[in-house]
Amino acid sequence: ITSTASATIVEHSFFVKNLTVNRLCNEQVITAVNGSLPGPTLLVKEGDKLVVHVFNESPYNVTIHWHGVLQLLSAWADGPAYVTQCPIQPGQSYTYKFKIIGQEGTLWWHAHFSWLRATVYGALLIRPRSGQYSYPFSTKPYKEIPILLGEWWNANVVDVENEGLLSGLPPNNSDAYTINGLPGDLYPCSENQTYRLNVVRGKTYMLRIINAALNNQLFYKIANHNMTVVAIDAGYTQPYFTDVVVVAPGHTTDVLVTFDQPIGSYYMAARPYASTVPAIDFANTTTRGLIVYEGDTSSTSPPMPELPDFADTPTAHKFYTNLTGLAGGPHWVPVPLDVDEHMFVTIGVNLELCNTCAGGQRLSASMNNESFDFPSTLSMLEAFANNVSGIYTTDFPDEPPVRFDYTNLTFINDPDLIFTQKSTKAKKLKFNSTVEMVLQNTAFIGIENHPIHIHGFNFHVLAQGFGNYDVVNGPKSFNLVNPQIRNTVAVPVGGWAVVRFQANNPGVWLVHCHLDVHLPWGLAMAFEVENGPTPSSTLPPPPADLPKC
């Protein structure tokens, strides 16, 4: 760490390489950063500059994405493969350089190629700039603890993804959920792989909860203790008191917990919130860790929190919709009131015709029935910066092909809607224009809650609900005063969410479902944001070491 008068430069080296670990009675070779799972926790202050040298010593192509970092004028460091850069090939390296501006709380980093993020991920903790605690809440946390919730496969995840894509069916479900890389003692051979947090009675801790799982939202609870949510996605919230936290893949949630119960041990636990009844057995899918008070000598078995049922949508919806932003607090951004671009975007799972597949079709996914195909010869951002045509087009539609009852499953007989075609389409935005997107779930194949992540921007979540969005009356329910600000919104199952943001960051920005099973199926689109009028609103030229395809 080097300090200069104006900003601190925080420098790290990431060595991405094979690591052999024992999990669930098996030895498994995984791809990991610096020999650990999860990878290193990065600690910065708002205003700092991060410089991360990534050396790819693994057998796979890889990129690193800094999930939720706004990347103002640093799109070259965003990381999604073939969107802002070609992958770092085995034996190659790339240095990501970016500043953290206007964000405080918790973000994280993860691989953004194939399914490698299953094991290539870590926390990014952002503290206030001042160098001392100046959180907008009175209780100074005694300690801050990252809680990374993850997913584990007894298999090579790249193979799992590829088999899924080839078969046209959903790939295998994971074999365990994890807390800080550990499954916990409810899983076989895992007694010694239970995350343990030692605490001092009477102290308040900040737990920085990250959902790094690939395909599941998670409920998180601590036995006998409540939590106060103070930040989500690196933005402060009105304090929200709760006994349960719900996190979708991509989300982060910072909570304060005061350990004020009798000296003893207590379990924390997480298990899926699956918005629609899945065709798999959800027994034994609870990960848990132990909180041990200092001085605990008891031998009784610790209490276990009672987690909501895996299909408990009311609990999830209550949590998600009760969160509000800390209007007027540090880095608060008021809602832009004049909208330049109104978009109505359907999201969901479809089918696509396929010559080589059994039955001639396979699962696909889309936004406005366009199923996103990643380029492979050049990144979209390089095409944008160098005016190269043929990599993508800018005709992403503002509306779906037909407006109808998206929640009516009988429409699955309409081949124009059920089947998608592959395309690589972006929506072009003027610099600083304000975009409002209605994200509407479709019900062609089934319904589920899709966590939609927008790269390069935070957005205000103005409203969300079930069923079809009411274009006429919907705006009456908008919260324009203190809506939550996020980088990922969990669009309610069979429902909709309305988000708004200002396109103040030139570049090409991916928008996608953060369920990794849906991304290779095509549940994505991109924004192309033009340069602004001044050098300070123009994307700089690419760094010299930007990887080549």
**Interface residue list for ligand C2O (CB under 6 A):** 65, 67, 80, 110, 112, 250, 453, 455, 510, 512, 514
Q: Which is nearer to ligand C2O, 117 or 317 (CB)?
A: 117
Q: Which is nearer to ligand C2O, 331 or 512 (CB)?
A: 512
Q: Which is nearer to ligand C2O, 210 or 316 (CB)?
A: 210
Cβ 41 to ligand C2O, closest distance in Å? Answer: 17
Cβ 386 to ligand C2O, closest distance in Å? Answer: 23
Q: Which is nearer to ligand C2O, 30 or 519 (CB)?
A: 519
Cβ 252 to ligand C2O, closest distance in Å? Answer: 11
CA 327-125-108 angle, to 5 degrees, is 95
> Residue holding tokens 């203190």?
482
Going from the C-alpha of 177 to that of each of 116, 223, 304, 426, the distances in angstroms are 16, 18, 16, 35
Q: Which amino acid is at 387?
A: N
For residue 371, what are its two tokens?
């199923």
The whole-angstrom separation of Cα 254 and Cα 232 is: 6
The alpha carbon of residue 34 and the mean position of all alpha carbons in its chain are separated, in whole angstroms, by 22
Residues 6+ away with beta carbon under 8 Å from 476: none
Q: Which is nearer to ligand C2O, 105 or 250 (CB)?
A: 250
For residue 546, what are its two tokens?
């930007």
Instruction: Assign 3-class secondary structure to 410-467.
Output: HHHHCHHHHECEEECEEEEECCCCEEEEEEEECCCCCCCCEEEEECCCCEEEEEEEEC
Q: Which is nearer to ligand C2O, 67 or 127 (CB)?
A: 67
Q: Which is nearer to ligand C2O, 186 or 461 (CB)?
A: 461
Cβ 67 to ligand C2O, closest distance in Å? Answer: 4
Going from the C-alpha of 264 to that of each of 227, 288, 302, the distances in angstroms are 18, 16, 7
Residues 6+ away with beta carbon under 8 Å from 446: 276, 349
Cβ 457 to ligand C2O, closest distance in Å? Answer: 12
Residue of this chain nearest to ligand C2O (CB atom): 67
